[in-house]
Chains A and B, each alone.
Chain A
């Protein structure tokens, strides 16, 4: 794949190669499997990031038909744990010695006759399922209570279940049960044309539709060796920042909801609404969807009026954020809450604002510029405190940066073409990435012999951050839970797919 350094390895060499990468300071970003030919054994791929400007290391390994098995690396490289379990559930690969070897993506009781991502598994075949008891961590001691919360939770929330092990107010252990919303989205790309794939990507996480469509389109363009026009690059960056803006403002409003700062909640959500209305007005979609396609954009946008509208909103946003930062009752609830140390963030795979709040300086927009980010340079906001307040501060700094980026983008953008022909590319493969509001989004696409999609792997930021989140909940108290969860700004849809 372009922009990667590929190494093809034997199954026995994978563990050593992964260790080597981490020793060199690279960080694994995702691992997945696919079936290059129906009925044959799967290939497993490991993608890492070695830092700014360096190509992504990619390890590939074809398993043998006799032994669809690898050694688990989860106890040495913890962030791989979930990827391995996902490959077990969806691709039927066993990982020997996995420390948490129960199902993850498919719930206990789901019995697909073949691994669902095997191409022989028909696209429209529902898998048999009977409800079964779950594998929960055992408890000893009489005073420990177990409280399962969800999957239908209060307010308007996405479905997920959080199991608390607690004594009084103290949480001993937090065990999220996720993937209630697993819709099998990766399977849906199978057999589609590159254009149609965009519609699926946009619907993996509705509030991240630009990030997903962008990473997807870039993966396709990378595979087809297609260069898109400059104006399309600018428009893509502007749309991506507009997405960040409404997401981060909603985040601040929701955080105020958990700290019971009513006016702060109302104002944050109103500002988010105003941004969505701008999105609707300038692009036809409050979620900025239906605009991207492999090869550029589907239609040109007239954004000349946007800077004016944004400049009227800017002082409102600024005074709102200043007020939040001087409200002690709000800050008291955030400071020290949900502490995530640097090392845990690094080892467990934290992404986006979460990792930057814990001192990890990584942002795909700077490290591996895409769209127009090579011209639109940004400063990465950083914090080291790793608490809920730091996570909110990062987002506030990013709001300011997004506004500046949109204004500069609209100013610098020249008239010109917005799309280019996408060559048909049988058997091509490509990698795409994007730093969305919640963190790094990766797409890998593999085409079949007729230039249709054979496999699309989606790595969403919430998949990474849900894995990390419980580490900030163990040994805290019930009162802080909602604040902490809000400070992570997670989505279920992206994680569960």
Chain B
């Protein structure tokens, strides 16, 4: 089929050099989850709390009285809080690399103990290293997460170049990648797939639905994501997380990238 050979050749290389080199410019303009600046909060206003449908923003008691807190594991990035907050306590941002190993890291804490922060720093061997085979299970998504997962294999992200592959058979899979808040009807098929995987195996909760249920969890037919259903090794909130965030989370699992979020703080 010479026309397509020629066609392919004439288009040249379409793949982004990231994460080998290049910056995060490949998600230019894309909004991430909001930045939380509690110091800018006006004590009496709870506008953000009321604007947050999944309940990611809450109020908790502290020694100095009540204070705001945020759980990024519940955030769907709807940006409503950033539009309602009069003081800039919540601001739009391009923070999207939210993959973490521990669920707690998505929850805001006042200050990270320095020692803890030190320990959390990964030893990054190299961006390119051992390979990974993924079995994906859609446990009741809106298809937004799938759309971004499918994008990973387009020539731009070209996931294969990183030695990461999707596999149809759970028997060859190292990682179970789950999207959706886990409907009653997908509960069994999800466990069956997990059980069919050989050990050692990992699980990644992809998208806010799989992390906490987001706005689709609960109700008459859904669980609250993977919580209490499967042990999770990587949590990646975002609604949906963009393909770069997914690649970052996969590399994080392989210890080929550094975790960006600790105690709800981004990029320290």
Residues of chain A whose beta carbon lies under 8 Å from any beta carbon of chain B: 106-107, 110, 112, 116, 121, 123-127, 129, 131, 151-152, 154-159, 179-185, 187-188, 192, 195-196, 199-200, 203-207, 209, 250, 253, 261-264, 266-267, 269-270, 272-274, 276-277, 280-287, 290, 298-299, 323, 326-327, 329, 491-494
Contact = CB atoms under 8 A, between A and B. Distances in A.
Nearest to B149: A156
Interface in B65-99: 76-80, 83, 92
B164 interface: no
Given A126-B221, A180-B186, A183-B221, A276 B151 contact: yes
B214 to A, nearest CB: 8
A116 B215 CA distance: 18
Given A199-B76, A280-B30, A287-B144, A263 B8 contact: yes
A112 B168 contact: no
24 contacts: A112-B220, A126-B219, A131-B188, A151-B185, A154-B168, A159-B140, A180-B186, A180-B189, A181-B138, A181-B180, A183-B222, A196-B53, A206-B146, A207-B147, A264-B4, A266-B155, A267-B11, A267-B155, A269-B155, A273-B151, A277-B28, A280-B30, A284-B79, A491-B143
Interface string B134-160: 001111111111111111011111000
A261 B8 CA distance: 12
Contacts of A274: 156
Contact of A286 (B183, B223, B242): B242
Given A180-B185, A199-B53, A155 B180 contact: no
A290 B76 CA distance: 10
Contacts, number: 207
Interface of B: 1, 3-5, 7-8, 11, 14, 26-31, 53, 76-80, 83, 92, 136-151, 153-157, 166, 168, 180-181, 183-186, 188-190, 193, 214-216, 218-223, 239-240, 242
A188 B76 CA distance: 16
A155 B166 contact: yes
Contacts of B219: 123-124, 126, 183-184, 187-188
Given A152-B193, A187-B220, 12 more contacts: A112-B220, A124-B218, A152-B189, A183-B222, A200-B215, A203-B214, A261-B1, A262-B4, A263-B1, A284-B30, A326-B3, A492-B143
B215 A180 contact: no
Given A199-B53, A267-B7, A493 B143 contact: yes
A253 to B, nearest CB: 8
Given A124-B219, A180-B186, A187-B220, A263 B7 contact: yes
A192 B223 CA distance: 21
Residue from A110, A131, A267, A274 whose CB has the most chain B CB atoms within 10 Å? A267
A158 B143 contact: yes
B29 A284 contact: yes
A125 B220 contact: yes
Contacts of A261: 1, 4
A282 B30 CA distance: 9
Nearest to B139: A159
| Most A CB within 10 A of own CB, among B78, B147, B181 | B147
Of A159, A270, A285, A298, chain B has the most CB atoms within 10 Å of the CB of: A159
Contacts of B215: 188, 199-200, 203
B183 A182 contact: yes
Nearest to A117: B220
Contacts of A121: 220
Contacts of A199: 53, 76, 78, 80, 215
B7 A273 contact: no
A110 B184 contact: yes
A205 B143 contact: yes
Given A125-B220, A183-B183, A323 B29 contact: no
B180 A156 contact: no
A326 B3 CA distance: 10
For A156, A185, A209, the residue with the greatest tally of chain B CB atoms inside 10 Å of its CB is: A156
A107 B142 contact: no
B143 A207 contact: yes
Nearest to B79: A290
A184 B143 contact: no
B147 A206 contact: yes
A156 B220 contact: no
B144 A182 contact: no
A270 B218 contact: no
A205 B145 CA distance: 10
Contacts of A203: 76, 142, 144, 214-216, 239
A183 B8 CA distance: 41
B143 A182 contact: no
Contact of B142 (A127, A206, A277, A327): A206
Contacts of A269: 150-151, 153-155
